Structure 1
Amino acid sequence: MNPSTTSLSPMRKGVVGVQYLFVAFGATVLVPLLIGLDPSAALFSAGVGTLLFHLVTKGKVPIFLGSSFAFIAPIISATELYGLPGALFGCIGVSFVYFLMSALIRAFGTRFITRLFPPVVIGPIIMLIGLSLSSAAVKMAETNWTLAVVSLVTAIIITLYTRGIVKLIPIFLGIVVGYVVDLLFFEVDLQPVREAAWFGLPQFILPAGFEWRPILYMIPVAIAPVIEHIGDVYVVNNVAGHNFVKDPGLHRTMLGDGLACLFASLIGGPPVTTYSEVTGAMSLTKVTDPVVFRIAALTGIIFSLIGKVSALLRSIDQAILGGIMLLLFGTIAGAGISSLLHSKVKLDSARNVVIISVTLTTGIGGAALHFSSFSMAGIGLSAIIAVLLNLILPERAEDRAEA
């Protein structure tokens, strides 16, 4: 444990815990708003999922789980094929991937992951997560460009010109400022907020029955979040000064993410995974006591039970969300490019260019494969293509990353 966390009073731990929740709040509620879910269900899933993670990892790892943007496009596509309950139930497939990776890591270590998912595979997949939703962002923003620009500019200013914890919540503050402008200059229907009960359960979407097709559809989508999880754990290692890869073990952290995804799938919440934004906040504050993250989880659960919070979040104009998405999804795409550059992937290698190009064109172009009543498309299909190309195409010395 970081020495700076041992002297925190219970009150201070509570304050920091709530602070960590607000770092994740904007992005966590943005995902359900985009795919048509109750944002309170996302908060509930994040809170319970985080507690499950801490249970599996023996309460040692300071991590918070939140809604992942990697699942937005696949869930939207799967909804068109199987309906929203079917798409969310299909996320059980994501948990299967985490369980499998946990077992493989426990048996063989992490070397095989590097072989399956090198940077030349992960970079374009991350880029697709952002690029595949760019048109949706524009369509939402153009419903009211004033609100979209206000939200976008606010998020940009916070990202570029602020410091400390404020710099970590551009999404949250962009939505807040956009909403205030909406209240002052446009018409916002607050009647649902006034009519909403103060306390009540989130609107869960329970699975109607077992269905294999959406599960198989969602399995390839797990590649990007699985790799992100590994990267986040290593960052947490550095910040906390403890090797969590060995104690309690990467296989346990992977299992924790899988159980959280499984729980979310069974109640109809968006999948929750290890959250990079909160990891960034921890790097800034140096507070690494796992108790603080459990406090954030409990606070999220409490918020999810306040009916007026859900109603207020649902009253946010889609143009405000569109403005935030213009920056956010472009940033995700940029992170994919940054991953290629930081990993020193040789972009003058014909092999690497082929893998990156085919992955991007199939994903952005909407390529799909159909087998009888089963289909695969989008990020999931492109991820499979990237992995197969990396395994099939022979790698020569001139194709390898620079030392």
Structure 2
Amino acid sequence: MTTRSKTLIPGLGWSLHGDGRTIRPGDVVAPDERLSWGRSIGIGMQHVVAMFGATFLVPLITGFPPSTTLLFSGIGTLLFLIITAGRVPSYLGSSFAFIAPVTAAMGSYGMGGALGGILATGALLFLIGVVVHFAGARWIQLLMPPVVTGSIVALIGLNLAPAAWDNVDAAPVTATITIIVMLVSGVLFRGLLGRLSILLGVVVGYAVALLRGEVDFSAVDPALRAAAGGDLGSLPQVQWFGWPEFASPEFHVGLLGLFLPVVLVLVAENVGHVKSVALMTERDLDPVTGRALMADGVATMLAGSSGGSGTTTYAENIGVMASSKAYSTAAYWVAGLVAIVLALISPVGQLIATVPAGVLGGAGTVLYGMIGVLGVRIWVQNRVDFSHPINLAVAGVPLIIAIANFTMVFGEVVLEGIALGSFAALAIHHGMGAVARWRGTDGGSEVPEDKEEADAALATPVNRDGLAE
């Protein structure tokens, strides 16, 4: 017998799954179910650990305050759960797609300009979510078939390669050890520990940096530094709790070309996340796809309005759900609340901010490379045929544009590698396709008419073969 709690907040009531302690073989804990609160809290903590490494790396790389990003990550997760009425379990962490445009904006207009770009991106994502909610997601698949989606995802990772080298060059030994630990831990450990390769690499790299004297603690509370040095009498003077650093956005037309292409990646990630959860829970979640996009748009706008990084659904937490068989949104409420509490603990943000360049360079090398290869994985997973000239051009030209970071200036609008590459992928695919249809020549692959095949037209963190494995 199951019981459901009454609540005025959408998605906040859960039925108890079985006895609340065990999950029968072949069964899963559905999004609207929960295990006992003790077990739900434990799984929620696993979600926090899984997202933590990647989420705090983005503000460190871009120069944003880590605590502020963590705060709006937690708040955004709770908003996501409410807007999707508890039907889509997800954690909203920092999106790596924002790193390049934020870095460029920071150099020209400072943090205010970068926040304005993030806010505008969130607004556009929200509007797309409204359209998808009422018109369905088929038009997204027609706009961005697998060859286009794969190109855009790949070019973002490859465009960030120079940023990774700048940090690696600052401390090559630490960066190399960080890379090795990240790579080895992914195959050395099983279960959750194996999925925490980013966090493990950062921890070990940080320890190496400490031994090599590369960590600067000047920004840490002096009382806390004194206590760490053995002066326990300083503990009462430590400021344990405080509000993160907030900032206001500024809007510059010239930055829109840098940020708006990020929407294409956020759409692919969100739709892919919804499809992955639907696959694993055997539920039809297509009706809430628009809500998921709107929710991420709201979370990104909120972050951009106050000093946080743009958000997206996290594949890292897909792994936790797949291994625990618990897709309960109750665990994500725990994760979101814990993230908010951590953001308000002042020493947490101060210590995160001390992560040195060598560690960031090592982590960036692995993560940017994986983003690039994820685009290739989308091509392979969807069997993109590169014997067609259109597919070959859509994949090749945008990558060169992004790697070389082509730049064009139109008045106040500056378009760099990611923006130009994204536009090129869309223009080449649809432009060459239109000419091919007019001439009756071979136009390359289109989105399949069969719904089940068409559902694979966007990136998904977990496909059927991966889930079975």
In the superposition, the TM-score normalised over structure 2's length comes to 0.81
Question: Is the counterpart of residue 148 in structure 1 residue 175 in structure 2?
Answer: yes
After TM superposition, give the deviation of residue 128 of structure 1 in Å: 1.3
Alignment match of 1:310 (pick from 308, 332, 349): 349
Q: Distance in 1 between matches of 2:310 and 2:162?
A: 23
- Matched with 1:400 is 445
Q: Distance in 2 between matches of 1:398 and 1:389?
A: 11
Report the 3-state secondary structure (helix = DSSP H, G, I; strand = E; otherwise coil) of the residue aligned with 2:88: coil
Q: Which amino acid aligns with 1:25?
A: F
After TM superposition, give the deviation of residue 210 of structure 1 in Å: 4.4
- Matched with 1:378 is 417
Q: Distance in 1 between matches of 2:409 and 2:294?
A: 31
- Matched with 2:283 is 242
After TM superposition, give the deviation of residue 400 of structure 1 in Å: 1.7
Alignment match of 2:374 (pick from 317, 322, 335): 335
Instruction: Report 1 or 2 for greater relative contact order, CA contacts < 8 Å, sequence distance ≥ 6.
Output: 1
Work out whether residues 175 and 358 of structure 2, in 8 Å CA contact, stay in contact via their aligned partners in 1. yes
Alignment match of 1:103 (pick from 119, 130, 134): 130
After TM superposition, give the deviation of residue 86 of structure 1 in Å: 0.6
Question: Is the counterpart of residue 232 in structure 1 residue 259 in structure 2?
Answer: no
Q: Distance in 1 between matches of 2:214 and 2:265?
A: 40
Work out whether residues 199 and 306 of structure 1, in 8 Å CA contact, stay in contact via their aligned partners in 2. yes
Work out whether residues 94 and 309 of structure 2, in 8 Å CA contact, stay in contact via their aligned partners in 1. yes
Report the 3-state secondary structure (helix = DSSP H, G, I; strand = E; otherwise coil) of the residue aligned with 2:409: strand
- The answer to which structure has the higher helix fraction is 1
- Matched with 2:45 is 18
- Matched with 2:393 is 354
Question: Is the counterpart of residue 201 in structure 1 residue 246 in structure 2?
Answer: no
Q: Which amino acid aligns with 1:200?
A: G
Work out whether residues 123 and 336 of structure 1, in 8 Å CA contact, stay in contact via their aligned partners in 2. yes
Structure 1 residues 231 and 187: CA distance shift in structure 2, 3 A: closer
Report the 3-state secondary structure (helix = DSSP H, G, I; strand = E; otherwise coil) of the residue aligned with 1:91: helix
- Matched with 1:295 is 334
Please give the residue correspondences for 1:4-403 in structure 2 after superposition, counting only pairs within 5 Å. Answer: 4=23, 5=29, 6=33, 8-195=35-222, 197-207=239-249, 209-215=250-256, 217-246=258-287, 249-394=288-433, 397=442, 399-400=444-445
Identity of aligned residues (%): 33
Q: Distance in 2 between matches of 1:372 and 1:105?
A: 33
Superimposed CA distance per residue, residues 43-70 of structure 1 (whole angstroms, 9 cap, x where no aligned partner): 1111011111111111222111000111
Q: Which amino acid aligns with 1:28?
A: T
After TM superposition, give the deviation of residue 83 of structure 1 in Å: 2.2
After TM superposition, give the deviation of residue 398 of structure 1 in Å: 6.3
Work out whether residues 67 and 271 of structure 1, in 8 Å CA contact, stay in contact via their aligned partners in 2. yes
Q: Distance in 2 between matches of 1:374 and 1:333?
A: 26
Instruction: Tell me which moved more, 183-192 or 350-359.
Output: 183-192
Aligned residues: 400
What are structure 2's unaligned runs of at least 5 residues?
Answer: 1-14, 24-28, 225-238, 454-469
Instruction: Tell me which moved more, 346-355 or 67-76.
Output: 346-355
Work out whether residues 126 and 297 of structure 2, in 8 Å CA contact, stay in contact via their aligned partners in 1. yes
What are structure 1's unaligned runs of at least 5 residues?
Answer: none
Superimposed CA distance per residue, residues 226-263 of structure 1 (whole angstroms, 9 cap, x where no aligned partner): 111101111111222322222xx111111111100110
Work out whether residues 240 and 286 of structure 1, in 8 Å CA contact, stay in contact via their aligned partners in 2. no
Structure 1 residues 65 and 140: CA distance shift in structure 2, 3 A: same
Report the 3-state secondary structure (helix = DSSP H, G, I; strand = E; otherwise coil) of the residue aligned with 1:193: coil
Work out whether residues 253 and 413 of structure 2, in 8 Å CA contact, stay in contact via their aligned partners in 1. no
Superimposed CA distance per residue, residues 15-58 of structure 1 (whole angstroms, 9 cap, x where no aligned partner): 11111011000000000000001111111111011111111111
Q: Distance in 2 between matches of 1:91 and 1:191?
A: 30
In the superposition, the TM-score normalised over structure 1's length comes to 0.94
Cα RMSD, aligned residues only:
2.0
Q: Distance in 1 between matches of 2:217 and 2:251?
A: 38
Work out whether residues 117 and 251 of structure 2, in 8 Å CA contact, stay in contact via their aligned partners in 1. no
Q: Which amino acid aligns with 2:172?
A: W
Q: Distance in 1 between matches of 2:261 and 2:382?
A: 23
Question: Rg: which structure is higher?
Answer: 2
Q: Which amino acid aligns with 1:202?
A: P
